[in-house]
Amino acid sequence: MVVSGLDRASDLSKAVSGQDVVIHAAARAHVAKESVPNALEEYRKVNVEGTLNLGRVAIKAGVKRFIFISSIGVNGSLNSKPFTESDAPAPTDLYAKSKLEAEVALWDLTRDSNMELVVIRPPLVYGPNAPGNFGSLMRWIENGVPLPLGAVKNKRSLVSVDNLVDLVATCVEHPAAGNELFLAGDGEDLSTTELLQQVAKGMGKSAYLVPVPASILILVATALGRKTMAQRLLGSLQVDISKARNVLGWQPPLSLEEGFKRCVSGQ
C-alpha cells in the first residue's frame, strides 16, 4: 500500500493494520541549504514528527516490533577510532540532529508500550543507482575523469544495500534484537583511494587518480566553500559492527568486492 505521507494517520493505520513488524526507512534527506531559516524544522516535519506519528499508529495497531533506520551521522561525521553503540551521540549536521531527535522520541514513546524498538544506524549505503556523492564518484570513474584522490589514506566504513537489508531482515525475526541499537557496515574499511579503485575494478575500467596530498585538497575545498564535502571524502569514519555479530550472530553476507560488483552491474 502506498501512503501520501507520514502526516496522514488514517492512511498509516491502513498500512500497518495486521502487521507484526514495521520497518521505517522514509526520511527527509536534503534541504537545499542548511543555513536557510527553519531548515531544521523542515527536517523535523518528516524525520521526527512523521516518525512519531507512524510510531503512535503502529502501537495502536498492535505492531510487535518497530525497526527504525537512523544514520551513523548521529554518532558524528568523523572519527579517529571506530564508532560503537555506546558512544555519546555527536551529530554535526541538521539531518543527523533530526534523526537523533527521532531516536530519542521513539525510545520515550515505546518505553511503556508492548512494541519493541530496534534502531539501526548505517554509514554510507551504496548500491545500483546510488545518489549523492557516491553516485557522482561512480559517474566520474565511468567517464574517465581524472580525480585528485590518489593519495588519500583515510578509513571509511560503508554498507551495501544488500548487507543492510540482510541486517534488517535479521532484526525482524531475531528475539535478541528487540529494544536494541545496532551499527551497520560491510565489516571491511577502505580509503577513498581504495574505494575508487574498487569501483573502477567493478566496472572493468581504470581509475585515473592523481596523488594530491589531502592537506592541499582541504585548503582548496575550504577556499571554494566545499570544506564539508571534502572532509567526507578525505576524513575517516569507521563503525564497529561487533554488537550485531555478537548479539545477533550476524555476518555481512556480501564482501566489499562483491558489493561493488553488484553496485556497478546494477543487479
Q: What amino acid is encoded at 189 in this protein? A: D
Q: How far is residue 183's CA from residue 250's CA, in Å, rounded to a whole number?
A: 12
Q: How far is residue 136's CA from residue 148's CA, in Å, rounded to a whole number?
A: 15
8 A C-beta contact, residue 65 and residue 118: yes
CB-based burial label for 67 (10 Å; 0-12, 13-18, 19+): buried
Q: What amino acid is encoded at 246 in this protein? A: N
Beta bridge partners of 118: 67, 180
DSSP state of 90: -
Q: How far is residue 200's CA from residue 204's CA, in Å, rounded to a whole number?
A: 6
Answer positive or negative: Cα dihedral of 254, 125, 55, 116: positive
Q: How far is residue 134's CA from residue 195's CA, in Å, rounded to a whole number?
A: 10
> Catalytic residue positions?
95
